[in-house]
Amino acid sequence: MSVISSCSPNIVVVGGGIVGASIAWHLAARNANVTIVAEDFGGTATPNSFAWINAAYGNPKFYYDLRYRSMARWRTLGDELLPGLPLHWGGSLNWGMSPEELEEYQKQHSSWGYDITRMEQSEIRGREPAFVDDALPKWGWGLYAGEEGAVEAADAAHHFIADAEARGARVLPAEVTGFVKKGNRISGVAIASGEEVHAHHIVLAAGLGSVPLLATEGITLPVTSKAGLLIHTKPTGPLLNGVTYAEELHLRQKLDGRILVGTDFAGGDPGPHPQKTAEELLLS
């Protein structure tokens, strides 16, 4: 067994999805000595994300505040700190709830300072001319949130990692199998080759992979996975301007021209023939 070590304080980040990549970049940008270890750079959930940047409905104020700060951080990152991040700020249209729920959502979020306005059907048609009339809200209006956007999350993760590496971070493709301990303190991670990577601090950002890793220390992380349906079309010319959250689906156009369509953020069984389910949904 060999030991990889460094005499200066160092940090190991486990996970190369959007969370691990962002943490590693932020640490490297502050001149920390970072090693990022992951099986799949770009992530596992990350490339399958709808990746809508928003602080929309359904959360208590403290969590809204966190999400709103995160939106502002994406702006700063894209505009100033890491230009080239694949971000798209096109706002969002929403009529994916009942009119009463939309009214409640607008009232609450407006009182919190969110830029959210009512948009009549004719204005929606103007913003998203590709929608056929049947797709528009039956009750004649929706909400428009102008500050929202989207990120091509896996590309962004690669971008963070490449820039962190350029700033001196070490990138190690490997499976972490457990933790190394010194007394009662975690002092590193063990990787599948049998090597140990020692560090002063370990950041576990391995998504679902954090569950079995923490289980080796008797810690239960209450995270589970669920099947879901996310559809990518072939690339097409510019069709959609922003995110739309409609009654039965949400959709946006990716920067590479593909339309991304989802049905339920909480997941949902696409059935035994996901391709057929996807085609039926797109034709409905």
Ligand X SMILES: Cc1cc2nc3c(=O)[nH]c(=O)nc-3n(C[C@H](O)[C@H](O)[C@H](O)COP(=O)(O)OP(=O)(O)OC[C@H]3O[C@@H](n4cnc5c(N)ncnc54)[C@H](O)[C@@H]3O)c2cc1C
Paired tokens of 10: 């160092």
| DSSP state, residue 39 | S
Residue with tokens 């820039």: 163
- Strand (E) or helix (H) holding 13: strand 10-14
> Minimum distance from CB of 35 to ligand X (Å)?
12
Binding flag, residue 147, ligand X (CB under 6 A): no
Cα–Cα distance for residue pair 88/149, rounded to 1 Å: 5
> Minimum distance from CB of 173 to ligand X (Å)?
9
Binding flag, residue 261, ligand X (CB under 6 A): no
In the beta sheet, which residues pair with residue 14?
A: 37, 204
Cα–Cα distance for residue pair 76/29, rounded to 1 Å: 14
DSSP 121-163: HHHHHHH-TTS-GGGS-TTSEEEEETT-EEE-HHHHHHHHHHH
Between 16 and 86, name the residue whose CB sits nearer to ligand X.
Answer: 16
Interacting residue with ligand X among 86, 142, 149, 209 (CB under 6 A): 209
Binding flag, residue 52, ligand X (CB under 6 A): yes
Binding flag, residue 45, ligand X (CB under 6 A): yes
Binding flag, residue 172, ligand X (CB under 6 A): no
Residue type, 44: T
The closest alpha carbon to 68, from 82, 78, 53, 83, belongs to 53
Strands 10-14 and 201-204: parallel
Interacting residue with ligand X among 55, 93, 197, 205 (CB under 6 A): 205
Which of the stretches 3-11, 82-90, 93-101, 204-212 binds ligand X when contact is defined by CB under 6 A? 204-212
Which of the stretches 128-136, 137-145, 200-208, 272-280 binds ligand X when contact is defined by CB under 6 A? 200-208
Binding flag, residue 206, ligand X (CB under 6 A): yes
The closest alpha carbon to 50, from 27, 20, 18, belongs to 18
Which of the stretches 46-54, 112-120, 195-203, 231-239 binds ligand X when contact is defined by CB under 6 A? 46-54
Cα–Cα distance for residue pair 166/154, rounded to 1 Å: 18
Site residue total, ligand X (CB under 6 A): 33
Cα–Cα distance for residue pair 280/284, rounded to 1 Å: 6
In the beta sheet, which residues pair with residue 230?
A: 262
Between 122 and 225, name the residue whose CB sits nearer to ligand X.
Answer: 225
Restricting to residues 214-233, name those near ligand X by CB under 6 A: 228, 230
Binding flag, residue 40, ligand X (CB under 6 A): yes
Binding flag, residue 213, ligand X (CB under 6 A): yes
Binding site for ligand X (CB under 6 A): 14-20, 37-40, 43-46, 48-52, 153, 175-176, 205-209, 213, 228, 230, 262, 265
